[in-house]
């Protein structure tokens, strides 16, 4: 019960800081930024605060962590105490340090994967919409066929073939998610390529790459950014799930998914320590979702 109360108090504290931050931003900012902050709901402020905290922890992990990531510094499964705040894991590594390094490894890998999926998926999607004809048909039907297989099952199939390493994990998940990004980017770009200014640019003799970069992308950025947030959540959850299944990021690298699996035996003894990395995953996904919700509302709700 004590843990539940601590968690609730911690979340309430974060909300309070977020509210204070929003108030400070409202009184200092001017112009467009001020307008954006003005209609920001408290949940979005909370989300931004959590994302900032994660980013700071990930960047300063070696400074924050009291012990090295991979070193065995105690006996196995030590309880929470003064030296090891959150105890130690299955082979005696410091839990808190591994949690901190996990922010760098898990979130970093998920971010890189999402970015890769986005670059590939959106460029191909926009290119297909711009070119049209047989190229569009081939790419779209190919993506349709790939999307008929459930994402997790397809990733498992590809991981069997390419083996389970961090690099193949990134490439496989990025490939699977790029199909979803392709769909959205193509749909968005199809609305843009019929515009007169694209026609004008084509008549000026601009090349495809210029059209994509300077004419279409700037106009497609708003829906793509919201999708990036959602995609990141899916990728993050997929990578954590695969790591949890022992098929993703492998020990000794500190990763939240595999940390849960490694120490899961403690749960049956009523110890919540193994749930902490899972909680870290959940908190970040909720935070990103809150921010995306606000962005989607801003994109659609302003017209109301």
Partner 1 sequence: MSTVIRMIVTRIALGVGLLFIVSLVIFWATELLPGDLATQLLGQAATPETVAALRAQLGLNDPAPVRYWAWLTGALTGDFGVSLANNRPIAELIGARLGNTVFLALYAAAMSVPIALTLGILSALWRNSPFDRVANAGALSAISFPEFFVAYILVLWLAQTGIFPSMVRITPSTDFGDRVYMTFLPALTLTLVVTAHMMRMTRAAIINLMASPYIEMARLKGLSPLRIVLRHALPNALAPIINVIALNLAYLITGVVVVEVVFVYPGLGQLMVDAVSNRDIAVVQAVALIFAAAYVGLNLIADVLSTITNPRLMHRR
By the rule CB under 8 A, 53 interacts with partner 1: no
Torsional class of 40: left (φ above 0), alpha (ψ -120 to 50), beta (otherwise): beta
- To partner 1, the closest distance from the beta carbon of 259 in angstroms equals 11
By the rule CB under 8 A, 2 interacts with partner 1: no
Out of 14, 72, 112, 264, the only residue in the binding site for partner 1 (CB under 8 A) is 264
Residue 183 vs residues 13, 121, 229, 234, 238: alpha-carbon distances, Å: 40, 8, 16, 16, 19
By the rule CB under 8 A, 149 interacts with partner 1: yes
To 5 degrees, how large is the angle CA 258–CA 261–CA 267? 140
By the rule CB under 8 A, 114 interacts with partner 1: no
By the rule CB under 8 A, 163 interacts with partner 1: yes
Number of residues in contact with partner 1 under rule CB under 8 A? 44
What does the block give as tokens for 274? Answer: 């193994």
By the rule CB under 8 A, 51 interacts with partner 1: no
How far is 267 from 279, CA to CA, in rounded Å? 14
Instruction: State the DSSP code for 187.
Output: H
Which one, 206 or 293, has the nearer CB to partner 1? 293
- To partner 1, the closest distance from the beta carbon of 231 in angstroms equals 14
By the rule CB under 8 A, 11 interacts with partner 1: no
Out of 59, 79, 145, 187, the only residue in the binding site for partner 1 (CB under 8 A) is 145
**For helices 2-28 and 42-59, angle between their N-to-C axes, nearest 10 degrees:** 100
Out of 136, 282, 297, 298, the only residue in the binding site for partner 1 (CB under 8 A) is 282
Nearest to 224 by CA among 192, 198, 176: 192
By the rule CB under 8 A, 95 interacts with partner 1: no
By the rule CB under 8 A, 257 interacts with partner 1: yes
How far is 138 from 73, CA to CA, in rounded Å? 56
Out of 185, 281, 291, 294, the only residue in the binding site for partner 1 (CB under 8 A) is 281
Out of 64, 278, 295, 297, the only residue in the binding site for partner 1 (CB under 8 A) is 278
What does the block give as tokens for 237? Answer: 């959850």
Burial of 114 from C-beta contacts in 10 A (0-12 / 13-18 / 19+): buried
Q: Among residue numbers 208 through 247, which ones bind partner 1 (CB under 8 A)?
A: 233, 237, 240-241, 244-247
- To partner 1, the closest distance from the beta carbon of 195 in angstroms equals 29
Q: Determine the number of helices (DSSP H) and then strands (DSSP E) in the chain.
A: 13, 0
Sign of CA dihedral 37, 38, 41, 45: positive
Positions that interact with partner 1 (CB under 8 A): 145-146, 148-154, 156-161, 163-164, 233, 237, 240-241, 244-247, 257, 260-261, 264, 267-268, 270, 272, 274-275, 278-279, 281-282, 285-286, 289-290, 293
């Amino acid at each position: 019960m004590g843990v539940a109360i601590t968690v609730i108090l911690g979340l309430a504290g974060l909300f309070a800081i977020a509210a204070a931050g929003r108030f400070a931003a409202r009184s200092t900012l001017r112009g467009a930024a001020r307008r954006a902050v003005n209609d920001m709901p408290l949940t979005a402020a909370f989300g931004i605060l959590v994302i900032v905290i994660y980013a700071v922890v990930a960047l300063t992990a070696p400074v924050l962590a009291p012990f090295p990531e991979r070193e065995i510094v105690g006996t196995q499964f030590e309880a929470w105490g003064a030296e090891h705040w959150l105890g130690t894991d299955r082979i005696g590594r410091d839990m808190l340090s591994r949690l901190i390094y996990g922010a760098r490894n898990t979130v970093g890998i998920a971010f890189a994967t999402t970015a890769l999926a986005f670059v590939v998926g959106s460029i191909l999607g926009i290119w297909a919409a711009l070119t049209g004809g047989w190229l569009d048909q081939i790419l779209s039907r190919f993506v349709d066929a790939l999307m008929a297989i459930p994402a997790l099952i397809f990733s498992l199939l590809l991981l069997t073939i390419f083996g389970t390493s961090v690099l193949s994990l990134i490439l496989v998940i990025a490939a699977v998610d790029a199909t979803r990004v392709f769909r959205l980017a193509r749909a968005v770009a199809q609305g843009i390529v019929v515009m007169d200014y694209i026609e004008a640019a084509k008549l000026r003799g601009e090349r495809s790459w210029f059209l994509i970069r300077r004419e279409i992308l700037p106009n497609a950025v708003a829906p793509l950014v919201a999708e990036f947030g959602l995609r990141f959540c899916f990728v993050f959850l997929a990578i954590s799930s695969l790591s949890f299944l022992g098929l993703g990021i492998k020990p000794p690298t500190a990763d939240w998914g595999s940390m849960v699996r490694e120490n899961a035996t403690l749960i049956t003894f009523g110890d919540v320590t193994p749930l902490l990395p899972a909680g870290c995953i959940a908190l970040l996904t909720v935070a990103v979702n809150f921010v995306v919700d606000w962005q989607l509302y801003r994109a659609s709700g302003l017209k109301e």
